[in-house]
Structure 1
């Protein structure tokens, strides 16, 4: 079965780009200009959106010290919302999706921020919903530790209820600008919320005009059963990881079934699978490139440091040439830990890291061969697209160009991805196919 058109998005961090390589901007991208260039390239290539990940701490999970985290520029990490605003201001169709945590943003503040930036972005703003997964983040906000994983999702469910009511507190036609009566907004169409729940309360209404999309495009990464159900209930697009076509299909089918159980149309929730395509002019050249990356001790330490940061499991304690213990658990990002461990039963930690050049399935080859693989994979899975991310170290111009000017044209020639945008608003483009 041939694949129909699918969506492309990009996953990045507002961190130092490839500062010690030949193709970065020098590792000082804090004015946002480098990432604005990236956004323009992604828009030119027809990407639906860019997700900007976030963490609210400098991790010391790897080896009990911040040394490796800072050495490999996993931190510093700057706030994604101003960067998303800047990216949106300098583009016209690309969706921008910063990460904000339900554990640390007061609901009214987040609802107001989303409405404000959606106006600035002309209806192209999204919110990557996280509950956060690190005790170190909680300690930056006056808590000893994070709430338990399941409770965090209970809280997030109520959080979405209150922010949705706040977004809806202004009716679409509340702004009348009636010169005859001197009325800017009709007070009968702006409503108090008076929300009182188990965890949150808010009087409302928002003091911002209803945004162009009504609410931002909602993005979420649901891996655990609780996370999947939350994502299926609320998300317009989901970040997913699958280690095989069968696993990816099973995940998407499960999400669609859960969405239908929540009274939603399954096609209104787009599941995008995280991948890191690696391309070059010949198969020999690309295999040599991958071998250089995965055999580099700095690359291995970088991968394990980053994995420690998001799971709060200290991977420095394990022998690289032995399999990981099967009973590893975490109150952090369970999905990330499970996806990493499921890459190969009985494989050593070094081998698992070697597989980590591409999250999920391997997409390594020439632009044409990788485009064929992506088309075949989507046909087998059923949809809806891919979320691309840089495979090693910081993001760099060379990798962006290899994708936007090498891989994407190969996908477009096959009719697999868009060549132009059909709509102005982010959600409309997401639902176009």
Structure 2
């Protein structure tokens, strides 16, 4: 049993207490995971979910998440074994950074048979997949899931992954996004290559598909050449729900142009959240999109713990080393070679994840040590009050979102998601969120897209 403290003073408070003022419209909530050992980086119970590799752990997790009322389960992915630390793969393998990790696209197909309402998002790279293969794959999974699949669109950030696909290195960030823009053009053409009503199943005239309603796309561009049409059966959603999490200016531009679900890391509290939302909406309007066409959800690490200070103090060096390794691999630099008690040098340049690097540099400009900066980035700076008793955390999340005017949150639970963490979120925090009207209690739509845009 967790101990509880008296409610602390809140940064964001409304004039009337939320305990007696239920929300008229709930927020959206997602759950973020990874297809690898779920708790190896936790402080305790590190072998929790040891059957992860055969789908057992995530089958259990998906059912709990669905029953709790989360909109979706979201899987990140990488496909290399990093040599950034020490110039070889030893550290990556020893600390479970990039490996072992199985393919989440296969996993969501398995989970579709274990669930009936939950949205299922898997990552697919525009730098590494051929467009036709990805379009056909996600259309197939959308059929198998009854219209519950989402695609997390990434351009990738690790050269080690690129070298597994015949490339020496990934292109620079701006070029990767230019490739991604054309990739989106191609896959949308492929999903649209079958008109509505193309499948007629006309027994009398012996016609299964009306050939006048299926078209080649004949795409010839700077990066891709694809004849089409797609040869898979039209899926319930026609195309997967588009998710994206780029935080750099170019990533935001891409999200504003294409995404329906946009994930933002909540570093910097309410003001940073407001800035991100306003910027994305302005960019959407600039490309002719209505901001209501995308849901913006903020990623955070809520912990049901006795106090924020106690939670931060509980982070061990054994946890910190693999976190530095994992994020260093995404950046393309060995963070373990720097003094953890000093700010990250400001003259560094990387070709990896831009938004992460900018967050660490911003902390360095303020004289914050690398140790504290990486804790803030990975576990959250708790500017929103997301660590503490469940009642306080729920109230803080809703207060912050009402101030921002946003759409919801994504709970990050990757490699420190032991039983205590999962139980704290689902058995303690979720009931509090429902009690104040912040979380859905049903799924009114039949597809992921319908449910995400049902309120």
TM bucket, shorter chain: over 0.9
- Distance in structure 2 (CA, Å) of the matches to 1:65 and 1:110: 31
Does the 8 Å contact 1:9/1:387 carry over to 2? Answer: yes
Q: Does 1:88 align with 2:109?
A: no
Q: Name the residue aligned to 2:180.
A: 156
> How far did residue 28 of structure 1 move?
4.0
TM-score under structure 1 normalisation? 0.94
Q: 1:328 aligns with which of 348, 351, 357?
A: 348
Match of 2:373 in 1: 352
Q: What CA distance in whole angstroms lies between the structure 1 residues aligned with 2:225 and 2:288?
A: 26
Q: Secondary structure at the match of 2:355?
A: helix
Q: Is the 8 A contact 1:23 1:397 kept in 2?
A: no
Structure 1 residue 426 and structure 2 residue 451: aligned?
no
Counting matched residue pairs gives: 427
Q: Does 1:258 align with 2:280?
A: no
Whole-angstrom CA distance in 1 between matches of 2:444 and 2:359: 35
Q: Is 1:386 paired with 2:409?
A: yes
Determine the C-alpha separation between the residues in 2 that align with 1:343 and 1:13.
27
Is 2:92 the partner of 1:72?
no
Deviation of the 1:397 alpha carbon = 2.8
The reply to whether residue 15 of structure 1 matches residue 36 of structure 2 is yes
Displacement after TM superposition at 1:422 (Å)? 1.4
Q: Distance in 2 between matches of 1:93 and 1:424?
A: 7
Provide the secondary structure at the position in 1 that maps to 2:151.
Answer: strand
CA 1:360–1:114: 2 relative to 1, 3 Å = farther
Take 1:341 and 1:399, find their aligned partners in 2: how far apart are those partners?
30
**3-state SS of paired residue (2:345):** coil
RMSD: 1.8
Give deviations 1:61-80, integer Å, cap 9, x for gaps. Answer: 12323222212212111111
Q: Is the 8 A contact 1:63 1:316 kept in 2?
A: no
- Equivalents in 2 of 1:119, 1:274: separation in Å? 29
The Cα offsets for residues 248-272 of structure 1, whole Å up to 9 and x where unpaired, read as 1100111111112222120111111
Query: In 2, distance between residues paired with 1:288 and 1:209?
Result: 53
Partner of 2:236: 212
Q: Is 1:166 the counterpart of 2:187 in the alignment?
A: no
Q: Which piece of structure 1 moves more, 181-190 or 323-332?
A: 323-332
Paired residue for 2:4? none
Q: Report what 2:436 is aligned to.
A: 414
User: Are the aligned partners of 1:274 and 1:359 in contact in 2 as well (CA < 8 Å)?
Assistant: no
Within the alignment, does 1:233 sit opposite 2:254 as a pair? Answer: no
Deviation at 1:87, TM superposition (A): 1.2
Q: CA deviation at 1:91?
A: 0.6
* 1:173 CA displacement: 0.9
Following superposition, the deviation at residue 288 of structure 1 comes to 3.0
Flag structure 1 segments of 5+ consecutive residues without an equivalent.
none
1:340 to 360, 365, 369: 360
In the TM superposition, residue 89 of structure 1 has moved relative to its aligned partner by 1.5
Q: Alpha-carbon deviations, 1:223-252, whole Å to 9, x = none?
A: 111111110110010111132210111001
- Quote the Cα distance in structure 2 between the aligned partners of 1:59 and 1:422: 43
Contact 2:50 2:57 in 1 (8 A): no
Kindly indicate whether residue 220 of structure 2 is the aligned counterpart of residue 196 of structure 1.
yes
Query: How far does residue 81 in structure 1 lie from its aligned partner after superposition?
Result: 0.6
Contact 2:297 2:409 in 1 (8 A): yes
Alignment partner of 1:146 is 2:170? yes
CA distance in structure 2 between the partners assigned to 1:64 and 1:359 by the alignment:
29
Partner residue, 2:75: 52
Match of 1:267 among 279, 292, 296: 292
Verify the 8 A CA contact 2:344 2:360 in the aligned structure 1.
no
Decide whether the 8 Å contact of 1:170 with 1:190 is kept in 2. yes
Unaligned runs of 5+ in 2: 1-13
Q: Does 1:399 align with 2:421?
A: yes
Assess if the C-alpha contact under 8 Å between 2:296 and 2:408 holds in 1: yes
SS at match of 1:240: strand
**1:24: how far off?**
4.4
Alpha-carbon distance between aligned partners in 2 of 1:301 and 1:394, rounded to the nearest angstrom: 13
- State yes or no: 1:33 paired with 2:56: yes
Q: Which residue of 1 aligns with 2:7?
A: none
Q: Counterparts of 2:301 and 2:51 in 1: how far apart (Å)? A: 24
Contact kept? 2:245, 2:263, Cα under 8 Å: yes
- SS of equivalent to 1:342: helix
